[in-house]
């Protein structure tokens, strides 16, 4: 079943016509049933959540049939079983795409808080790239690339 759900999810990715065909062929209840039946299998959890996301990504009209099939309860069970990892985030994304209520981590308050600034280095400092280009290894690699293009490298 995992491979079947995975295949349906792959066929649905960015293919609205395939999503419609999957829905018309009974794929939605099959995916939701497989997720509910194998709720403790991480591979099924991820493949079913991805399939659901792919189905509704470009076919908003499929949201309600997926919800009517009972997907929300199973997806919430997956999300709650994983506190803060890939599966938690994947389930949360599926719920978001289904327009279900989800709390998205940290709520932005409009305050900068503990902002960090990356050091850019000294503009007048030593240029390590130029130093690297002067090494025999870099010179040989450059000569080989020029030769492959049928060109000859000038010597300084």
Give CA torsion, residues 131, 136, 141, 142, to 10 deg.
Answer: 60
Polymer length of the chain: 156
Q: What is this structure's pTM?
A: 0.67
pLDDT confidence of 68, banded at 50, 70, 90? very high
Distance, in Å, from the CA atom of 103 to the CA atom of 101, rounded to the nearest integer, reads: 7
Percent of the chain whose pLDDT exceeds 90: 60
Distance, in Å, from the CA atom of 105 to the CA atom of 121, rounded to the nearest integer, reads: 33
What are 139-153's pLDDT values in tens digits?
A: 898 889 888 888 887
Q: What is the DSSP string of 50-115?
A: HHHHHHHHS-GGGHHHHHHTTHHHHHHHHHHHSSSSHHHHHHHHHHHHTT-----SSPP-S---S-
pLDDT confidence of 65, banded at 50, 70, 90? very high
């Amino acid at each position: 079943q995992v491979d079947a759900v995975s295949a349906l999810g792959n066929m649905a990715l960015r293919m609205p016509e395939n999503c419609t065909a999957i829905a018309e062929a009974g794929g939605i209840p099959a995916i939701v049933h497989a997720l509910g039946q194998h709720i403790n299998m991480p591979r099924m959890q991820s493949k079913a959540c991805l399939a659901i996301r792919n189905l509704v990504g470009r076919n908003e009209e499929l949201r309600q049939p997926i919800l009517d099939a009972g997907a929300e309860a199973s997806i919430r069970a997956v999300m709650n079983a994983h506190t803060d990892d890939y599966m938690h985030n994947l389930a949360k994304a599926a719920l978001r795409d289904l327009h279900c209520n989800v709390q998205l981590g940290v709520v932005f308050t409009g305050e900068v808080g503990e902002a960090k600034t990356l050091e850019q280095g000294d503009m007048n400092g030593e240029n390590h790239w130029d130093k690297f280009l002067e090494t025999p290894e870099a010179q040989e690699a450059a000569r080989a690339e020029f030769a492959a293009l049928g060109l000859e490298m000038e010597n300084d």
